[in-house]
Amino acid sequence: MINLNDLISKNSWAYWEDYVHNVSRHDVETSLNITGKHSIQDFANLISASGEQFINNLAAAANQKTIQRFGRTVQLYAPMYLSNECQNICTYCGFSFDHKIQRKTLTDSEIIQEAEFLKLQGFDHILLVTGEANKTVGTNYIANAVKLLQPYFSQIAIEIQPLNTDEYKLLVASGVHTVLVYQETYNRNTYKEYHTKGKKSNYQYRLETADRLGEAGIHKIGLGALLGLDDWRVDSIHCALHFLYLRQKFPSVKFSISFPRLRPAVGVKHDENKFMTDVQLAQLIATYRLLDINLELSISTREAKKFRDNIFKLGITSMSAGSKTNPGGYTLLEQELEQFEIDDDRSVQEIYDMLTIAGYEPVWKDWDQIFHIN
């Protein structure tokens, strides 16, 4: 089996940049008409500029496959930010070390306070989020938080700094169900420009994180690129390649793909020329559904109400609701600590009602640790 380094070297950024911007209508039509498995070339064809012209065909195909596999269900989850402490300098992030903002790490009692609030909202699936500050919110802190939260939630996912395999094994044993780790951008040169200081500046270590997770026996791995840092099409092709490699290497592991687009944040400026449109994001989501019918596809409250009200029909199976992006945001009300501005600020009940009116079933959980077989 090809290793990760060989995979990246054989699929250069320049090659796929040239390929995806020279896709013809015929190429797209050929990929759309495939009834079996889609290749990475098909994926590139369908997310190309030429593929954008076939958005209605893509949407119909993705809708059919999503209903076939998942029915009309959408899992609801909530992020819980434990800390905004961070030792990295990342030029796009509100938590960046060089930003002179108030820092906050939740205490045990504050974690429980946030958990009780979210449990009352109906949540049984929680995503724990921190900045990357190993001394403040390292493995022991996360393991303790998971222990505190287990009585409240059936599924606990984390989005924290990349760890070593033995550290992930400890967290899996403590009850962590899913780990999300985004490469941000797969362009090694651009990556250096955005990550100028801290452990996150190590491109290779971050890239190999999912391999360490698989080796640690994690149930689910979440991947993604931060859309808007570089050419979103080329980044998405590399993310899809990464997923296909991991799916082959760790066949028992489940996978999810998220689609974070850059959002306004305190002290941050973005190059709007690299942003993608709503139609292009819909195109990308639908294409991932055609790539793998079993993939969990997740959308957050970064996106606008109108977009979220329709996109779950094209492949989304997991959606956050009533989110806060700052530590203690649900009960401490310290909004100036947020990582980025959300767009869909509706309540959990409003999201639940929206899905129900559309004929979909909001699901609070779909898996219990008791049913996991090693």
Banded model confidence at residue 318, pLDDT cuts 50, 70, 90: very high
**Whole-number Å distance between alpha carbons of 201 and 195:** 5
Taking residues 8-35, report their average pLDDT.
95
Mean pLDDT, all residues of the chain: 91
**Phi, psi values for residue 307, rounded to 5°:** -65, -45
Taking residues 156-167, report their average pLDDT.
97
Tokens of 187: 């362009």
Lowest mean pLDDT among 196-200, 213-217, 238-242: 196-200
- Torsion angle (degrees, nearest 10) of CA 180, 295, 302, 235: 80
Q: Is the pLDDT of residue 265 over 60?
A: no
**Phi, psi values for residue 221, rounded to 5°:** -115, 130
**Whole-number Å distance between alpha carbons of 241 and 5:** 12
Q: Which residue matches tokens 């994001």?
A: 281
| 185 or 302, greater pLDDT | 185
**Phi, psi values for residue 142, rounded to 5°:** -65, -45
Q: Is the pLDDT of residue 266 over 70?
A: no
The single-letter DSSP state of residue 220 is E
Q: Is the pLDDT of residue 273 over 80?
A: no
* Domains of the chain with bracketed CATH: 68-229+239-267+295-367 (3.20.20.70)
Taking alpha carbons only, the member of 327, 328, 325, 319 closest to residue 341 is 325
pTM for this predicted structure = 0.92
Taking residues 314-330, report their average pLDDT.
93
Q: Is the pLDDT of residue 105 over 60?
A: yes
Q: Is the pLDDT of residue 135 over 90?
A: no
Which pLDDT score, from 0 to 100, does residue 95 have? Answer: 75
Taking residues 302-307, report their average pLDDT.
92
The single-letter DSSP state of residue 184 is B
Q: Is the pLDDT of residue 373 over 60?
A: no
155-159 and 220-223 as β-strands: parallel, antiparallel, unpaired?
unpaired
Taking residues 320-324, report their average pLDDT.
93
